[in-house]
Structures are given as structure tokens and as C-alpha cells.
Chains A and B, each alone.
Chain A
Amino acid sequence: MASYLIKRVLRSFITLFLVCTIVFCLLRMMPIEGYFNNFDKMTPEQVERQLEIKGLKDPLPTQLLRFYNELLHGDLGNSSRYRPGIAITSILKERIPISMLLGTAALAVALLLGLPLGRLMARCKGRFPDHLGTVFIVLINAVPAVVYYLFIQMYGTSIAGLPLLFSRDNLVTYVLPVFSLALGNIAYYAMWLRRYMIDESNKDYVKLATAKGVNSKEIMSKQIFRNAFVPLIQYIPTSFILTIVGSIYVESLYSIPGMGGLLVKCIQSQDNTLVQALVLIYSALSIVGLIVGDVLMTLIDPRISFAKKGGAR
């Protein structure tokens, strides 16, 4: 376990290093406007000078080395266009907590609603609740989120008499964004729990239990559910991280000052340094999510041993 974990973490560092390097090199090929606040008014000489000052004229390896050196000191550089002169770390510091909060809440709601729904569907396989749930899952997957989020916001607020926008102090404004964020995961957990539970119910141990006369409700909740839930556990950290990263639509609609909208904004303002920092952070987050997911799996399911697993997952 320990040696597996060490290997795993080491590999993640290599991945992160490679991703950073590739992104860094790719972004150097972008138009140079992305480094200046008022490029349109600058003369070519000024641009040249500024490029030199910012060290963008140095050979690529030198720049890369400097970047890693700064990174080791916890410095992601300064934003150049989105919010000129402000350290990226301080921009992120304001935004990560709020996304974390909403992400946690959304995950809780997703588990709270998604798991019972999946269980219900599995138990009533082929009957009305199952069909209804399937329709819900298919719809959530098929209708673009951009569209139904908008409908939820518009009709949700007008029916409940809520303000349209999010505000930090008003807890009631958290309900709709959190619910919207959770929708995708509710469908996800419900769908997979149903599927795994149905798969499990064909297994021999269930037949044994039935033969022994254990009542079917107990089999459902004590045995099938537990076994079926195991593969889903692995996904929880990733889905949590994805909720933080992936709330672009929801954050834009409800004016939530989180991480999701940031990527869009920095792309629209062509802020190369910020794009680079965000890609780094998002990749790091997703890698951490995968590791935590794997570790959770081993902790919960003793049958899984990583020693055998080797390279391929």
C-alpha cells in the first residue's frame, strides 16, 4: 500500500511537471497581446522593451526554469490583463473557499438525493419509479445544462420569490445554485447505483442469502447496497473537485465569485499568465482527486489490493 502510494504520487508529480511544461511552452506561442494591459496603444519599441523586462525574450529553458523556481516559492506570477498587477495567488485565495463551500453542499445534496433515487429505481426495476427515474436521468444528460440552469434560475426564483442572484449573507440564495450544481451528480449516482445494484443482485451471495431466508429488504440495504456503493466511492473525490472547477455556468448565472467563472473570464481577457496558473491548478486538483479516490477504495473494500494492479487501471 505505502509503496504503491509513493509510486502513485511520484507519477502524479511527473504528470504535473509534464503538463506544466507543455502548457508553458504552448502559451509562449500565443500572441503577445496577452501580456499587456494596453497593447493597442503601445509602440513596437515599448512592446519590445516590456517583453525584455518581463523576461519573455529569454530562451525558453531559462523562462521555464524561472517559472519553476517561482512556483516552488508559491508564486504563480501576476495577472497581466484580467486584473493587472495583482498576484494570482491572492485572486485565487478569495475565490477557492466559496467554490469549496458550494461544491461540498452540492455533493452532499447529490449523495442525499442520488443514492436513495438509485436504490429506489433498482428495487422497482422495470416498474413506474424506475421508468420515471430513467426519464429524469436521460433528460439531465440530454438537455444542455446551459439551458436548464437558466430555466431553473428564472422559474425557481420567481416561484419561490427569491432574488435572482446569489449573495454571501443570504443563505436562501444558496439553494438554487447548489441544487443546480447537484443535478448532474444526482443523475450520475442514481444511474450507477441502480446499475451496480442490479448487477449485484444476480450474484451468488444474494441467491444464498435469499435461500437462507433473509428478508429481501435486508438483503437490499445491507448487502447489495453496500457492495454496489463501493465502485461509486472512488468517484466521490473527483466529483467534488469537478463541482468546484465545473460550476462555470452556475457561477456566471448567479454572480457567484468562485473559481468556475475565472477560467472563462481569463480566456476572454486573454490573460496568459492566469490561464497558465489555472490549468496548473485544475490539473493538480484532478490528479489529487484520482489518488484520493483510489485510496478510499482500498480503505473501504478490502478485496482490492493495489500491489497486483500494476500500471493499468
Chain B
Amino acid sequence: MKKKIFVVFLSLMLMVSLLAGCGGGGSDVEEYRSLYSSDVATLNYLNTTTTADMEIPANTQEWLIQYDSLGNVLPGMAESWTTSEDGLVWTFTIRDAKWYNNAGEEVGTVTAQDFVNAAEYALKFDAAASYMFPAAKIKNSSVGAEALVSGEVSWEDVGIKAIDEKTLEFTLEAPCPYFLSCLTYGCFAPMSADVLNQFGDWDNRASFSIDDWNAFSEALDGISCEQLWYCGAYYLSEYSAGERYCMKKNPSYFEADQVYIEALTYTYNAEASTLSGEMYQRGEVETATITSTMAKSWSEGEETKDLFHPMRVIPDYSYFFSFEFDPQFDAEYEPENWKIAVNNENFRKSIMHGMNRVGAIRITDEGNAEGLIQNTVTPANFVAADGTDYVDQQIFKDLAVGNGVDAYFNEDLAKQYRDQAKTELAAAGATFPIKILMVYNPNVADWDSECTYIEKQLEDLLGTDYIDIIVEQGPTQSFLSNVRRANKFAFMKTNYGCDYADPLTYADPFGEGNSYGRFDLSEDPATKAIVEEYYAAIKRADAITDPAMTAERYAAFAEAEAILIEHALVIPCGLDGGYTAAKVNPFDGQYAPFGVSTLRYKGQKILEKPMNTEEYNAALEAWEKARAEAAK
């Protein structure tokens, strides 16, 4: 009996291996294979902001402008552009480019109207990324979808127009020095009316009601790779949701000579974080996600230590600690007592100077904490004027009291502030210890350990008779809306992603009606005075719009940000780090902290062997040098 099974099994195996000979087979084309675990939700690039969804459009569509590897603006779909004298009208001349379908066949010509189509859909439907139009200060773009659809504000009055087939004109409400940097978001990409007509009566859109727009958009969200047209470096040749997709190089692309990788293949795997490292080692993929734990383990192995390198640090998301001024958490954590404490500047400063931020970052990124920490909310390498990085301005240097990379960590100073705060708070009627509720999202790796670290470190330093940090697990679903936006925390690490190349973007999280601690709602006169001073400073800074006065503009923003830090309304933290394994040099690719640039493979080459840490550091140095050179 057993023999029989064995024979059957053997013959099965044999059959299968014979069949296998037909399938598979390596191809000689330069192919970049990777795994992804966050599924692509939609191919409709006009209505999404997630990185997973933008990876495809970033490589298959072309925006008006593009960036080079050093972060300089280059012409993209627009051959050239002009600005009016007052800086309010921007006129772009569209390049003679074609649309291609998913077989790489030419199907149409890219026109100025294609850009207007995208904008009209995004604004009238209120699509996911449509907030970028008001951010770019485009005329009448902030009136809201309802006003536009009802005709209260005519579409003609919105500042986006196709003058003729090849001329696109933007009219702004006010001069906007960072206008160009807003242009690489999803809803600024073109979309042909022929594509849109497949999902409803697009030509008749003037008569659409809100409901019609919703129905139209729902249909458009379900667009397939055959229905979509492409004008970028690649076309989406194959797309099978939740399985795999493949992008192929478009040989007719206007800069095809700068596209080196012939094909990009993505395979869905729910366990990518577990498997990709192994597949990478076996040469089945060209890139892998490496957690910091894996990185440590790999660095100890002789064969694996040269396979990975630190992730490129991009100042796109900045982390900072927010104090809650309008606490809505449960009475057991004493919100009223917290209110008294948080409005005391010395209390906030005792936390700010007492917290070992490098230590906290080390929990998640042991090897690179010094490189990730930031002493300002606006990170380094984000913007620079006249060759000086924004963060290198004197005003920030004056705030430093610590030694080393952490400008604020100073145990003696923290204790001084603590003693002052103790007397002041006692006089104000606060009870000790002050309960500090820290909430973390259990879905974010290591956040709980980080909170526990901060709890231990601060309580050890400042004393448990002064503060009592309570670390609590937040909900796993809708964390932001249940915790940060609901103001159900006392002290929490928060983050904000930049939208365009201007320090103003990093002031957005602190504007009125923000959800980052609500210091605008404080009723305490001292806090109120600081907040008003801050808002006035932001207003002053944003009024400087002359392109020739960029340095002054940045200086004014730095002044405003310094108010936040000086009074410890916000404690800057740092950037996202991590590790990656990839057979490409990240510095070959297009660079900009905002928009789609870093998702693009144009300009990148597949390396013979993986980049190791030394090579990465050398490449980083070379890149920084070249960038400084270019800035001069």
C-alpha cells in the first residue's frame, strides 16, 4: 500500500515538474520585481492620496513639471511656462505628447483641456486630493463642491482654463511663491474626456447634480487598466487587482532615453513583510522591506550584512509631540487638572527639556536615531534660500540648550523648570502628580514601547510625585478620528505630511481649527497671547510673496516657528527612518519631498548587486555635495 502511494506521489511530482518546464523561464529584459502588501484600492488617480494607489500613476502619467534627482524643477508635460507681472497668472505650454493605452498603442493627444477635466472633476466632486487647489491659491477653488455644482460659482470663474489646445492658464487669488511645487499631485495630472466619457455622460457634466457626480465618481473609481490612458514613462500593461500588476516602458515617451528599467512588476502578498526578505535573498525580487529588527539580524550575518542599507530620509513627514489644550478624555485622567498644567509654560518646558528624544527614536530605529532627530517641525533639507537651509537659521540655533544632536535635552534645565512649575501649579490649584495620558495606536509598530520608554525616562528624571504618565492603548480602528481629532489625549507624538515646497505647509497643522492639540482653544491668557503672537507672525510671513525675497519669507516663518518651540507649545521630534534592501540607487531617481517624484522609477537603474550601507552613505554624501553645488 505504502509503495503504491509513493509511486503515485512520485509520478505526480514528475508530471508537475515536466509541466513546469513549459511555464516560467527567465526573461532578459531589465525587470524590477517587488512585493506589495497594501493593496491598490483604485486606479483613479484623481481621487486618492495613498502612496499605494499613487505608485502606478506616478510612473504612468506625466505632470506639468517634474524634478531632477537633486530636486530642481524641470519641464514635464509643459514645455515652458510664464508668469504674469503680478504673479497671479501662470501660463503653461503643453508639449506635443500622446496618450497610450495599456497595449502601448497611441490613442490620442494630450491637450490643455485634459488638465482642466481633471480639475473640474476633482473640485466638483470634492475628490480626495482636491485640497491642493486651494493650497495653490487657485482662484475660486475653495468655494466648495456644492457651490460649483449648483452654479452659485460658475466653473468659468475658477482659475483653471484651457486657452487653446496647447495652452493652459492658472489664475491665482494671491501670489503664491510655491505654486509650481503644488503641481505634482494626483488631481493635477491630465485625464482625457474620452476616458471620462466611459463612466457617464461627461460631455453633459454641466447639468450634473451632486448625486450625479457621486455616481460618476463611483464608476470612475472602478476604472480598469484597459479603460485608462497613459502619458508617462510607463504604461500599465497588466493589472489584476489583489494579484499583480505590471508596467512596461513606453518607447515613445518623450524622454525614453532616461528610462532604464524596462518593466516594473508588482506581486501582491499579504505577508510581504515576512517573505520579501527571503525572496530578495533568493533573487526573486529586486527590493524588500526590512524592519529594524531584521536589519539588526541581517547586519550580524556575513552573507546578509551587505544586502541592505538605511532608507533614504525624505523630509516628507515630520513628527512632533503635541500637548492637548482642550482635553476631552475621561474624568479619571483629570482633564481639568491637566488643563491647568498644560497652560503653564514652565510645566511644558520641563517636559520638553527633560525628554530624551534620541532615546525615544532609538526604540524604533536603533542605528540611525541621530540622523533622524529634528529640532524644528519643518525638517532639514526641506527648503533652502540663498544656499542656507531653513533649519540652519540663527534663530533656531539660539534656542538650543542641549549638547549633541538633541538641542533641547538638558536634565538640569528640566529640573529647574520642574521646580518653578511645581510652585506655580500649586498656587494655581493643581494637584500632584499631574496625570499625563499618552495614547498609542496598536497598529503602529513599536509605538507602545516608545511610550513606555518616555514614561520611564521622564518619570525617573522628574519624579513620580510631579508627573504620572499613563500609557494607554488606543482603538485599532479609526485611531486618528477617535483619539487625535477627538482630543482624547494629553501628550502624544503626532505627524504631518508636507504638501508643497514652502514652510507654510508645516504651519498648517497648527492653524485655527487644527486637530494637533488645539492650543487655539486655550482660554488661559498667557497661552492665548503666545498663540496670537504666533498667528500674527505666520500672517506676516505669508505676506512676503515676492520670489526675490524668499530668504526673507523663510526667515519670517522661522520666527513664527521659533515662537512655538520657545514656549514649548510643540516639541519637534524627527523624521521617519528605517531600512530597505533594493538593487537601485535611490539617488538616481527624481527627488522632491512632496508630490509623486520619489515614487518614480524614471532615471533609476538596476544595480548588479544590492547597495550596502557604506555605498549608501557614500552616495548620500555625493548627492548632498551635488545639491549644495547646484544651490549656489
Contacts and interface: CB of A to CB of B under 8 A. Distances in A.
A and B touch in the complex (CB under 8 A): yes
A171 to B, nearest CB: 4
Contacts of B2: 116, 120, 129
A40 B1 contact: no
Interface residues of A, number: 54
A37 B41 contact: yes
A165 interface: yes
Contacts of A172: 16-17, 19-20, 23-24
A214 interface: no
Interface stretch (A5-13, A205-213, A251-259): A251-259
A171 B481 contact: no
A78 B218 contact: yes
A112 interface: yes
A81 B23 contact: no
Interface-centre pick from B4, B17, B42, B221 (highest chain A CB count, 10 A): B221
Interface stretch (B62-70, B172-180, B239-247, B430-438): B239-247
Contacts of B20: 170-173
A165 B284 contact: yes
A55 to B, nearest CB: 12
Given A84-B41, A116-B1, A171-B20, A37 B221 contact: yes
A82 interface: yes
Interface in A160-177: 163-165, 167, 169-175
Nearest to A91: B241
Contacts of A175: 13, 16
Interface string B35-58: 100010110100111000000000
A60 interface: no
> Which interface residue of B9, B41, B282 has the most chain A CB atoms within 10 A?
B41
Interface stretch (A45-53, A136-144, A293-301): A45-53
Interface in A75-95: 78, 81-87, 91, 94-95
Contacts of A116: 1-2, 4-5
Contacts of A37: 41-42, 47-48, 128, 221
Interface string A226-266: 00000000000000000000000001110101000110110
Nearest to A123: B1
A295 B382 CA distance: 70
Given A31-B477, A38-B49, A53-B211, A265 B1 contact: no
Contact of A257 (B4, B220, B222, B268): B268
A252 B271 contact: yes
Contacts of A33: 477-478, 481
Contacts of A87: 222
B279 A165 contact: yes
Given A165-B279, A171-B20, A257-B240, A83 B269 contact: no
A158 B47 CA distance: 42
Interface string B1-42: 110110011000100110110011000000000010001011
B269 A255 contact: yes
Contact of B242 (A81, A173, A265): A265
A85 B42 contact: yes
Contact of A119 (B1, B480, B481): B1
A154 interface: yes
Nearest to B8: A112
B131 interface: yes
Contacts of B49: 38, 41
A154 B271 CA distance: 13
Given A40-B481, A172-B19, A165 B269 contact: yes
B278 interface: yes
B16 A83 contact: no
A113 interface: yes
A154 B23 contact: no
Given A31-B477, A40-B480, A253-B275, A82 B39 contact: yes
A113 B477 contact: no
Contact of A170 (B24, B217, B219, B284): B24
Interface string B210-225: 1100100111111000
4 pairs of A and B residues whose beta carbons are closest in the complex: A85-B221, A172-B20, A85-B222, A257-B243
Interface of A: 31, 33, 37-41, 46, 49-50, 53, 78, 81-87, 91, 94-95, 112-113, 116-117, 119-120, 129, 150, 154, 158, 163-165, 167, 169-175, 251-253, 255, 257, 261-262, 264-265, 269-270
18 contacts: A53-B211, A53-B214, A78-B222, A82-B39, A82-B41, A85-B218, A113-B9, A116-B1, A150-B274, A167-B24, A169-B23, A171-B20, A172-B17, A251-B270, A255-B243, A255-B267, A257-B242, A257-B243
Given A95-B242, A165-B284, 19 more contacts: A33-B478, A46-B126, A82-B41, A85-B220, A85-B221, A86-B241, A113-B9, A116-B1, A158-B282, A169-B23, A170-B23, A171-B20, A172-B19, A174-B16, A253-B275, A255-B243, A255-B244, A265-B39, A269-B41
